[in-house]
Each structure stands twice: as structure tokens, then as C-alpha cells.
Amino acid sequence: MKNLYIILLSFVLITACENDLDQFPPNIASSNSLTSYAGVLNAAYFYQHSGATPMAVMGDFRADNARMEEEPYPSFDRYNGDLVDMEDQFFGPFYSGLYKSILSANNVIDNSTDATEVGEARFLRALSYFKLVRVFGDVPVNLSASPSVSDDSILARQSASSVYSTVIIPDLEAAIAALGTEIVGGRASKHAAQGMLGKVYAQLGDFGSAESQLAAVVNGAGAAGISLQENFADIFGEANDLNSEIIYATQISSSISDEYGFTEFWSWSGGLDTKSLMPLDPDLVAAFDASEGDLRRDVTINTETMASPKFPQTGGPDHDWIELRLADVILLHAEARNENGASPDEVLSLLDPIRTRAGLAPLDPAVLNSQALVRQAIQDERRLELAFEGQRWFDLVRTGTVNAEMGESIGSQYHLFPVPISEVLASSGVITQNEGY
């Protein structure tokens, strides 16, 4: 069942203005006159919705898991400037929704006296900026509940490294300190913040810091009621929303309209849009062919329809978007241990619960006897485990394996996506476009 925070459309706190960073709620009382910020926090959760499908498409259709068929959508499979044509359906809603979530979170952070509310808001602000920097690189930063609409300097893009060090990491650390380990109604928790911080450090290549955060989640999961589902299929589908493996998900309800008014992630992967009726990339089929007996195969791919049944059509509009689940954290933890010099037998044993669930034997450290071989094994496991969950492209970029895995030389400028042209124009060029676009 969806939580009460989903039912918040009556709390439309932020309306579209000339520029997404310049938005201020013109139709409600000023923030310092409010006495309760629960509705504002709910808005910060709600505005994550419009980022779900764009992340799914960018993560899998840009990579070698899925492909588009009808022009101009195959621009996701071309590594040039063509992607600017995809603003209205993908990059615009993604950018707009996340900055609205940030503005709502700022309001809670600046004004609420409830420590838990503030902790959740800081988690959501960090999550928003983490998505933005992975997609666009340098981005504008707003940490105010009421930014000045006359000060264009707030629109200037800040370096991704600065956003990580001054916003994302401090916000997640603050969320860890403020939140409990229990997952209440699917909202942000301490383990969600720790897992996301571990993911952030892995993104930055700081595996020493990543390991400690990820280990805390793995070791504390049982006490918090977090566990791997016995059957892989039971992770997915509307009936399985908020199951024990889900550490954090963006909750979605068909009864609430959000800003993303196009084909949803479950339809794209399932081949339900004419622009990609057979989205399954043969390269992913080959990867499953190489993993003989893998029980994840029938859950993830259908070679007759050349689509993915991972998110079933039944209940589709109510599928939550999984942001972080335990298997993802376990795999990242194994990656961090490997990068920090742990032995192959120690690292590979961490994968055993995931492989056992998939009906596979443990990996042999006598065969995978080097850091490089273990590294590749973990990345291969991540691909099969997390296919169609918006992870693949971002894994390839952070591990520096884009060219090797995609089988072509792709300019690093196309590791990022185009900033919405509407934002560049609305800012009179203060917001700049990414190289190559």
C-alpha cells in the first residue's frame, strides 16, 4: 500500500516559472509563517517522481542493455550531439522535478524544528544533486528556501567535485546522524543514507570511505528488517513494492498525476511503446547466455518479445522506482573490498548469497585469482542483477569501462547528457551547455 505522503497533490507548493532554480511558491504563505513542514517534505518526496523514467532510460538505453528503434529516439545509441532533441521527454522533466524537490527540501531544512524531517530533507536534497551531477556533471546549486530571482549568479554551474564535497556528502552525513535504522513507510532511513553515501564514494573512487559505509548497511541489515528476497522475481512488481530488500524507493501511485506525462519506465523496458517495441539489446541476451542456469534470466529478459518482463505490465503505473536495494549494496561492498586489496576468496564469498539466489555456483577464487579478474566478475554480476534498474550506463562511466564494454570509442563528453536547452535560454546563457551538445 502506498504511504500517505503520496497523497499530496493538494500540496502543490511549487509552480513552474521562467527557470527551475528561480521557482518560489507564489500561491502559499511564506515559509517562515508555516508551523508544520510535513506537507513541504512530502512535496520533496513527490517531485522525485519525474526523475524515475529518465534515469531508467539513461541508465539502460544509453548503455548496452536496451535500444531504441524509432527516430529520433535512437540518439540514445549514437554518441554525438543528437540527444538534445530528447529534452521535452527526458532531460527537461528530470531537471525540473529534481530542482523542485531541492527547493522543497531547502524549505524544510531551513525552517523545520523536527530533526527527523530535516534528516529526510537532507537525504532527498543529496539524492537529487547526486542524480544531477551524474547526469549533467557541473550543475547550479541552490541551498536556500527562497533564492533571489534577481541574482543570476545562483544559476552558474558549480563543479561536480564541489557539489559532492559541499552538498551531497555533508547532507548524507547529516541524514545518517538524524535518522533511525528502521524503514518507516518506505521513507528515508539511516541505512538508505549510508548506502547512498557508500555509492557516492564509489562514484568518486574513494573506496576506503565507501567500504565503511557499505559495510555498515550490510552488517546492520538484519536488525533493521532488511534482507534479500528468497526469489528474485519477488523483488519487482506493484504487489512487491517496499519488500524486505528495498532500502529506498521512490513511491509511485497511478492515482496521483506527476510532471512526467510520457511513457513510464516499465513500459519502455517492456516494449510497450512503438518507439521501441523490441528494446532488448542482443548484448544483454549474450550476457545471460554466458551465465548458464541463471534464474534471473526469465525475470529479466524475454527473447521471444525481445523485451523485459522485470516490471510486469499488471500494476505497471503503480510500480515504485527502486533507488537502492540490498543486492546493489552487497555488490558495491564487494567492489570496495576488492579495490582496497582484499583477497579474491574473501571478496568472491560476498557474492555467494546473490549467486545462490540466482541458482548459480560460487565463483572460484582459484580461477578468478587477481584483482582485475574479480573486478570484472563483480561488474558482470552487477549487470545481470541490476539490468533495467537504471544502473548500467552509470556503472560503465564510473568504472572507466565505457569503450571496452560498448565495443566502440565514445568521447568522454558523451558520458554526460545535455543540459535542457530551455534552461540555457531562460538563464540568458548563465547556465551553459555541456561540451558536444
- SS3 (DSSP) at 140: strand
Q: Could you tell me the CA-to-CA distances from 86 to 73, 134, 418, 422 in Å, in that order?
A: 7, 18, 9, 12
Residue 179 dihedral angles phi and psi, to the nearest 5°: -105, 155
Instruction: Answer for the pair 179, 123: CB distance below 8 angstroms, yes or no.
Output: yes
The pLDDT of residue 179 is 98
Residues of the chain with confidence (pLDDT) below 70 = 1-34
Sign, Cα dihedral of 134, 136, 141, 147: negative
- 321 beta partners: 250
- Residue 359 corresponds to which amino acid? G
CA distance 58 to 300: 18
β-pairing verdict for 139-140 and 157-158: antiparallel
Taking alpha carbons only, the member of 158, 207, 190 closest to residue 333 is 207
Is 71 buried (19+), middle (13-18) or exposed (0-12) by CB count in 10 A?
A: exposed
CA distance 223 to 219: 9
Q: Which three cell numbers stand for residue 202?
A: 564509489
pLDDT digits (tens, 9 = 90+) for 153-173: 889 999 999 999 999 999 999
Q: Which three cell numbers stand for residue 87?
A: 529534452
Taking alpha carbons only, the member of 53, 89, 74, 73 closest to residue 268 is 53
Instruction: Answer for the pair 139, 157: CB distance below 8 angstroms, yes or no.
Output: yes
Q: What is the DSSP annotation of 303-360?
A: TTTTB--SS-STTGGGPPEEEEEHHHHHHHHHHHHHHTT--HHHHHHTTHHHHHHTT-
CB neighbour list of residue 208: distance below 8 Å, 6 or more residues apart:
340
pLDDT digits (tens, 9 = 90+) for 194-248: 999 999 999 999 999 999 999 999 999 999 999 999 999 999 999 999 999 999 9
- Residue 176 corresponds to which amino acid? I
Instruction: Answer for the pair 420, 86: CB distance below 8 angstroms, yes or no.
Output: no
The pLDDT of residue 31 is 52
Q: Which three cell numbers stand for residue 158?
A: 558549480
Fold of 4-404: 1.25.40
Q: Report domain extents, the chain.
A: 4-404
Taking alpha carbons only, the member of 200, 230, 61, 232 closest to residue 123 is 200
The pLDDT of residue 219 is 98
Beta strands in 38-165 (DSSP E): 139-140, 157-158
pLDDT digits (tens, 9 = 90+) for 259-291: 788 999 999 999 999 999 999 999 999 999 999
Q: Which three cell numbers stand for residue 88?
A: 521535452
> What is the H or E stretch that residue 249 is in?
strand 246-250
The pLDDT of residue 8 is 39
CA distance 242 to 204: 29
Residue 88 dihedral angles phi and psi, to the nearest 5°: -60, -40
